[in-house]
Chains A and B, each alone.
Chain A
Amino acid sequence: AQKITQTQPGMFVQEKEAVTLDCTYDTSDQSYGLFWYKQPSSGEMIFLIYQGSYDEQNATEGRYSLNFQKARKSANLVISASQLGDSAMYFCASTINAGNMLTFGGGTRLMVKP
């Protein structure tokens, strides 16, 4: 079974600064996907970024980038130039080839200070 670990239950960052949210995963599969979702207080889960296990380059989507270190089994999310609207829960999740079911980490609450 997969396990996703997010060791930071809460993080503060100053507006306009960059922040890194940690995520480690534990799988024996060779083929898997790594996802990050944002959940604001409204509850909706917003897809941010995807990294495939075979992708050699780190994924980037606007201000979001994924620092993928396969050997260390980590997939940290980097948010550059933080904005007040970035304050939310952030979940790391992964899939394996067999079923495409997402396994979620416990989440990190990010709070952006003005």
Chain B
Amino acid sequence: GAVVSQHPSRVICKSGTSVKIECRSLDFQATTMFWYRQFPKQSLMLMATSNEGSKATYEQGVEKDKFLINHASLTLSTLTVTSAHPEDSSFYICSARVHGVVLFQETQYFGPGTRLLVL
């Protein structure tokens, strides 16, 4: 399957600082990437859909000024958690879609995730 990398894998930061997480598709071009958040023992919650060259589409309840998404190229999307607070501590995971003709058939491949701890 397609390979997606994510960096960093783990980050600890102080409250009030900003943290950038990178998501890269290594062996394919991804016009669309997705960002999810997962709390312990819960399922994945979609935060936003990131489209190359355009603004991200955020899910209801997700603050776009707090979670800045930039999809600058076909292989890179970044999520910046601005002015992080302890409640932002979570597991953030991205996915990239292998572009196909029929949307619902396209498999999303996930990165390894980033564990963020805000002190």
Q: Mark A16-43, 1 if CB is under 8 A from B, else 0.
A: 0000000000000001110101000011
Taking the closest CB of chain B, its distance from the CB of A62, in whole angstroms, is: 13
* B104 and A32 form a contact (CB under 8 A): yes
Instruction: Find the A residue at minimum CB distance from B44.
Output: A104
Task: Check A11 for interface membership: any CB of B closer than 8 A.
Answer: no
* A100 and B97 form a contact (CB under 8 A): yes
Instruction: Find the A residue at minimum CB distance from B38.
Output: A43
Chain B positions within 8 Å of A107 at CB level: 43
B73-119: which residues lie under 8 A (CB-CB) from chain A?
91, 93, 95, 97, 102-113, 115
Chain A positions within 8 Å of B93 at CB level: 43, 45
Residue from B32, B42, B95, B105 in contact with A45 in the complex, judged by beta carbons closer than 8 Å: B95
Task: Check B34 for interface membership: any CB of A closer than 8 A.
Answer: yes
Chain A positions within 8 Å of B105 at CB level: 33, 50, 52
Chain A positions within 8 Å of B1 at CB level: 47
Closest 10 CB pairs of A and B: A45-B110, A43-B113, A100-B103, A33-B104, A44-B112, A95-B104, A97-B104, A104-B43, A104-B44, A106-B43
**Contacts A100-B104, A102-B95 known; 17 new A-B pairs at CB < 8 A:** A37-B110, A42-B112, A43-B38, A43-B112, A43-B113, A45-B44, A45-B95, A47-B108, A47-B110, A50-B107, A97-B104, A98-B103, A100-B108, A102-B44, A102-B46, A104-B44, A106-B42
Residues of B within 8 A of A (CB): 1, 32, 34, 38, 42-44, 46, 49, 91, 93, 95, 97, 102-113, 115
Residues of A within 8 A of B (CB): 31-33, 35, 37, 42-47, 50, 52-53, 91, 95-102, 104-107
